[in-house]
């Protein structure tokens, strides 16, 4: 559940009354998820929607995974699984406002590329807090939490820190940073290594470069990042992403007899990519890389990595997602996917995976509904940045979500009164029922949000003695109302957003007689990463605001 301390015990006395939502429903119906699933199969992605930069560790017979969350709170979701396919979120490494301060950060800043490690009864999550601090780690004895306050890592002036524990307990810190003397070109990065002292929670001793510059198969490397070291059969394997996190993304591996190197590259690098496939292929999966390897209890090896399901060749609204593939070892080298092969949407699962078990609501086609019957928001919900004041109430009127509207808009660098969940499908329907604002000066409805300059707001407002349903859109220039209709709600008003790749439609039901379209087939490629930029995916959910003065909508 989200942090209970952020939920209103009693609504503060303010001019605007809270907006009440009865339920929120989300249904995905992707053609890519419609393929029949054999009893021993699973669907990719295993975490659909905005779940980038995965890192995984095994402790006993269980696996634990973390993802980037950037400027969303609670941050760094923690998932648990017994089979690498069926995941359940059990907590967040950043779940207290006191841990990190997100105010003023862009949506694609904040917590980047976490790494999760375990040693001697302690879980470690390392992270880079971009534009808000430096590199840090948090620890916990239970991955569900509580997690410690951040311990900052002095002298680590790069990104993507990770920990490797050798068989004798020696700890090594790795990260991606500029080479000595600075970068020679954009994306020129080195992988650094240093001893790490678990007693003081600080790096110690001299740091050394273990990877920099061209290697066999990579003549002009850019963005060596996301480094990990693994030990197998007396070899140390250094694996990292290369090529940037877009369509040139890949994963490479090198090995050495010493953790310090020298590391020699796999002659068949990269061990994972989709950049060598035809651009015009149907239903492409792109951006594959940032892999994390793990050995299962039965001795098999697996890779968790990010990729994106695209439309129009390179566009995707669902962000970078988490995929799973087996690792095959040949002549002492790991391979995730042979060159020229596409990432399968359906694959054979681990031998220890339960058969014919649904992956919903984290993968596949499903319907998810929140009737707001709990006293705190469920784990599917997120805030945009850390709330500094309470505006959510699920207690005063059981079965209803009450949102106290704030003046912060979706373009703000602060915390708007917007409760967000991920868009997990290229084709989906999301709907809600709410009581329209009783007084003028409040707008309420559903926000569909990619970034502070790329979003939709399907809302309702009081205009005189009537109500107006409106659709506001920001495509990177200036927010504009692109459709509106006068309505006379009979009790609850229903609103719906339907997406189909790069086209979205918006509807309402004011009288219980069925949906009426407000706007159909609108160009929603503004929500794609190649248009909006950044590293996040689309989120959507209930949103209420104190209305801007007339003429400023």
Write out the catalytic residue numbers. Answer: 53, 225
How many angstroms separate the CA atoms of 73 and 402, rounded?
A: 19
How many angstroms separate the CA atoms of 197 and 120, rounded?
A: 14
CB-neighbour burial class of residue 330 (10 A; exposed 0-12, middle 13-18, buried 19+)? exposed
How many residues in total does the chain contain? 553
Which two three-digit tokens encode residue 473? 């859109």
Cis amide bond preceding 456, omega within 30: no
What distances in angstroms separate CA 515 from CA 26, 497, 498, 523, one per listed residue? 16, 11, 12, 20
Which two three-digit tokens encode residue 506? 């918006």
For CA atoms 51, 53, 54, 55, give the dihedral sign.
Answer: negative
How many angstroms separate the CA atoms of 159 and 68, rounded?
A: 13
How many angstroms separate the CA atoms of 316 and 49, rounded?
A: 10
For residue 55, give the 3-state DSSP assignment.
strand
How many angstroms separate the CA atoms of 322 and 53, rounded?
A: 8
- DSSP at 109: -
Strands 442-451 and 427-434: unpaired
Phi, psi of 527 (to 5 degrees): -90, -5
| DSSP, residue by residue, 185-217 | STT--EEEEEEEETTTTEEEEEEEEEEES-BTT
Phi/psi-derived region of residue 75, left when phi > 0, alpha when psi is between -120 and 50, beta in every other case = beta
The candidate with the shortest Cα–Cα distance to 52, out of 410, 419, 503, 529, is: 529
| DSSP, residue by residue, 408-422 | --TT-SS--SBEEEE
Quick one: the chain helix, strand, coil %, rounded to 5? 0, 50, 50
**Are 157 and 189 in contact, with CB atoms under 8 Å apart?**
no
What distances in angstroms separate CA 82 from CA 3, 59, 86, 398, one per listed residue? 26, 10, 7, 35
- DSSP at 17: P
């Amino acid at each position: 559940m989200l942090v209970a301390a952020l939920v209103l015990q009693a609504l503060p006395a303010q001019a605007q009354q809270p907006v009440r939502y009865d339920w929120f429903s989300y249904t995905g119906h992707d053609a890519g998820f419609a393929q029949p699933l054999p009893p021993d199969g699973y669907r990719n992605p295993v975490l659909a929607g905005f779940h980038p930069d995965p890192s995984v560790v095994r402790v006993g017979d269980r696996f634990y995974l973390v993802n980037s969350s950037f400027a969303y709170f609670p941050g760094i979701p923690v998932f648990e699984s017994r089979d690498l396919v069926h995941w359940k979120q059990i907590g967040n490494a950043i779940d207290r406002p006191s841990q990190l301060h997100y105010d003023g950060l862009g949506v694609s800043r904040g917590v980047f590329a976490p790494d999760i490690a375990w040693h001697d009864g302690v879980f470690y999550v390392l992270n880079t807090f971009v534009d808000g601090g430096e590199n840090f780690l948090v620890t916990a004895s239970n991955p569900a939490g509580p997690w410690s306050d951040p311990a900052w890592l002095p002298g680590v002036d790069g990104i993507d820190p990770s920990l490797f524990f050798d068989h004798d307990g020696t700890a090594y810190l790795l990260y991606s940073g500029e080479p000595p003397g600075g970068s020679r070109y954009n994306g020129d990065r080195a992988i650094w290594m240093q001893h790490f002292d678990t007693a003081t929670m600080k790096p110690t001793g001299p740091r050394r470069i273990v990877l920099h510059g061209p290697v066999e198969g990579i003549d002009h490397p850019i963005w060596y990042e996301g480094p990990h070291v693994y030990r197998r059969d007396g070899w140390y394997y250094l694996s990292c992403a290369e090529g940037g996190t877009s369509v040139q993304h890949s994963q490479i591996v090198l090995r050495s007899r010493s953790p310090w190197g020298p590391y020699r590259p796999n002659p068949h690098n990269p061990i994972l990519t989709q950049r060598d496939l035809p651009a015009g292929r149907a239903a492409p999966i792109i951006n594959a890389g940032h892999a994390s390897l793990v050995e299962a209890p039965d001795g098999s090896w697996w890779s968790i990595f990010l990729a994106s399901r695209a439309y129009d060749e390179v566009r995707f609204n669902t962000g970078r997602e988490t995929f799973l593939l087996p690792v095959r070892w040949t002549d002492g080298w790991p391979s995730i996917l042979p060159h020229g092969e596409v990432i399968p949407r359906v694959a054979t699962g681990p031998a220890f995976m339960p058969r014919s078990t649904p992956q919903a609501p984290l993968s596949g086609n499903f319907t998810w509904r929140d009737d707001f019957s709990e006293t705190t928001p469920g784990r599917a919900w997120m805030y945009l940045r850390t709330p500094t004041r309470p505006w959510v109430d699920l207690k005063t009127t059981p079965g209803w979500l009450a949102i106290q509207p704030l003046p912060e808009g979706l373009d703000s660098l602060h915390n708007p009164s917007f409760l967000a969940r991920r868009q997990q499908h290229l084709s989906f329907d999301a709907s809600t029922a709410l009581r329209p604002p009783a007084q003028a000066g409040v707008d309420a409805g559903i926000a569909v949000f990619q970034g502070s300059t790329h979003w939709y707001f399907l809302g309702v407002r009081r205009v005189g003695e009537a109500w107006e349903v409106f659709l506001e859109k920001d495509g990177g220039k200036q927010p504009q109302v692109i459709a509106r209709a006068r309505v006379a709600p009979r009790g609850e008003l229903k609103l719906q957003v339907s997406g189909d790749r790069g086209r979205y439609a918006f509807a309402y039901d004011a009288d219980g007689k069925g949906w009426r379209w407000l706007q159909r087939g609108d160009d929603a490629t503004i929500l794609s990463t190649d248009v909006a930029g950044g590293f996040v995916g689309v989120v959507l959910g209930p949103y209420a605001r104190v209305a801007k003065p007339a003429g400023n909508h």
